[in-house]
Structure 1
Amino acid sequence: MNMFNVRKSILAAALISGFATFAVLPSTAMAYDENSTAAINVDAQGVGLQGFDPVAYFTVKAPTLGNAAYTASHNGITYHFASKGNRDKFTANPAHYAPRFGGFCAMGVALDKKLDGDPQAWKVVDGKLYLNVNKEVQKKWLEDVAGNLKKANMEWPAIKDKAPKDL
């Protein structure tokens, strides 16, 4: 087998493996608006993290639903917080607490896709918050966090301003 065919076989295996990962995704598990070219995943009201408190992942180490009485905006996105204290921590350093890849699924980004991020399928890695589309995909992502983050960080600049339907 020549080198071209070896590379072609490896690429085909990688693609099949990548698409097998997404076989567990429900058909509605895409970013809120499949036509949006926004780099940040929000709901119809412009709320990020589906209303979950981004600071709570770092302080109580658990997804915690925010309260609309405590809000702050960062890069045009509104976030909800469980307390005034969490809101104040966020406003002091929003880039630290905001989810990476705009709140899209980290494994999806590694595979050149923009998928909705589930606030219940999360992990803080090296002080940064990452989401996955669901817990099944998260299991796959956790098998090689460093490798998947390396891939995702390489892919993100090329896909962040594209609509999910175009990927």
Structure 2
Amino acid sequence: MSRYPITGAITATAVLFAFASPGLAGEPVNTGYFGDVAIKGYDPVAYFTENKAVEGSPEFSYRWLGATWQFASAEHRDQFIKEPTRYAPQYGGYCADGVSFGTVTTNIDPKAWRIIEDKLYLSYDPGAADGLVKNPNKVVDSRKHWSEVEQTLLTEKASINWTKPSP
């Protein structure tokens, strides 16, 4: 038995809240299958300012919500720092089409994107991105399903045994 049982309980509770409460932990960010770079290193500000997908650079990066975000310039990085929720893609950069069905599609194509109602949506391919515009119900459905998908992502993250090496 622990000599300090209350300390252990407080620590366990804090860890649980960090993963279970979206308000405390922040939105999960899609960093793909490896690494910690958001939206495959593309500049989220460029979608709005240049109306195209532009690769960012590690030289102009910023850590936010546990991920590294890359930008094409210091100016874009600074714009993002001032208003990250304005520029960050919806659903943490997970495929908006997948979220519209209540599922997670980790693999996105940063060139398959749309800005709808001043929000950035990423998809796994250009056809899915077009579908968001052609079928406005997909955006409505993705908004409905996001809290469920987000909880699934947070639960999966919390269930990983970080102390045990992978097989």
Superposed pair shares fold, TM > 0.5: yes
> Which residue is 1:123 aligned to?
114
Q: What TM-score do the two structures reach when normalised by structure 2? A: 0.71
Q: 1:59 aligns with which of 35, 38, 49?
A: 49
SS in structure 1 at match of 2:113: strand
Paired with 2:90 and 2:128, the residues of 1 have a C-alpha distance of 17
State the distance in 1 between where 2:128 and 2:140 align. Answer: 17
Q: Superposition RMSD on alpha carbons, in Å?
A: 1.6
Displacement after TM superposition at 1:149 (Å): 1.1
Return the structure number with greater relative CO, CA threshold 8 A, min gap 6: 1
2:142 aligned partner: 152
Ranges of 4+ aligned residues in structure 1 off by more than 3 Å: none
Q: Partner letter of residue 130 of structure 1?
A: Y
Q: C-alpha deviations, 1:107-138, integer Å up to 9, x for none?
A: 11011111122110001111110011111222
- 1:160 deviates by 1.2
Partner of 1:141: 132
Gaps of at least 5 residues in structure 2 are 1-26, 157-167
Note if 1:41 corresponds to 2:30.
yes
Distance (Å, rounded) in 2 between the aligned partners of 1:51 and 1:120 = 12
Q: Is the 8 A contact 1:122 1:130 kept in 2?
A: yes
In structure 2, the partner of 1:20 is: none
Which residue of structure 2 lines up, in the alignment, with residue 103 of structure 1?
A: 93
Structure 1: stretches of 5+ with no match in the other structure: 1-37
Among 78, 85, 109, the residue aligned to 2:75: 85
TM-score, scaled to structure 1 = 0.71
TM superposition shift of 1:60: 0.4
Instruction: Select the structure of larger CA radius of gyration.
Output: 2
